[in-house]
């Protein structure tokens, strides 16, 4: 790998980690800095919405704040860089605390399209693919 390829991969891995941190902290105002202005996020496979970053900010503020805690644990990303564009696929294990005692688990993949911008690498599209739900309490 060239030094530029290594730098690109490191920056993309940092972007993946920053997204998880933003979501788990509920820092919705920080989301736009991770995405291109026209990015589309499709989380419908796991019960979320398909829409813009602004749509997701609003949805997340309503839905995710109802959980006592979440952790988006990312692992094993594959990254393919092609000039100023890249793709990535990452495993995500997401325990979600419903109340002080009940936790359910979401297993998913994130499929990402990324672009190099003047401000650095950004998500142009982010799609969730569901692997499993476990211990989801039915009410």
* Domain positions in the chain: 3-134
List the one residue out of 29, 75, 53 whose CA is nearest residue 126: 53
Q: What is the residue-wise DSSP string for 56-83?
A: HHHHHHHHGGGSSEE--EEEEEEEEEET
99 in helix, strand or coil? coil
pLDDT digit string (tens) for 61-78?
Answer: 999 888 889 999 999 899
Q: Work out the pLDDT band at 138, boundaries 50, 70, 90.
A: low
**139 has a pLDDT exceeding 70:** no
Architecture of domain 3-134: Roll (3.10)
H or E stretch covering 111: strand 103-117
| Separation CA 77–CA 54 (nearest Å) | 26
Banded model confidence at residue 136, pLDDT cuts 50, 70, 90: confident
Average pLDDT estimate for 10-28: 96
């Amino acid at each position: 790998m060239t030094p530029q390829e290594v730098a690109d991969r490191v920056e993309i891995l940092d972007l993946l980690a920053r997204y998880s941190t933003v979501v788990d902290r509920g820092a919705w105002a920080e989301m736009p800095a991770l995405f291109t202005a026209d990015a589309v996020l499709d989380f419908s496979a796991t019960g979320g919405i398909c829409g813009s970053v602004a749509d997701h900010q609003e949805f997340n503020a309503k839905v995710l704040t109802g959980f006592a805690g979440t952790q988006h644990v990312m692992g094993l990303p594959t990254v393919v860089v092609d000039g100023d564009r890249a793709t990535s696929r990452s495993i995500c294990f997401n325990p979600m605390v419903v109340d002080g005692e009940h936790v359910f688990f979401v297993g998913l993949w994130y499929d990402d399209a990324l672009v190099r911008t003047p401000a650095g690498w950004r998500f142009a599209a982010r799609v969730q693919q569901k692997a499993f739900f476990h211990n989801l309490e039915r009410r």
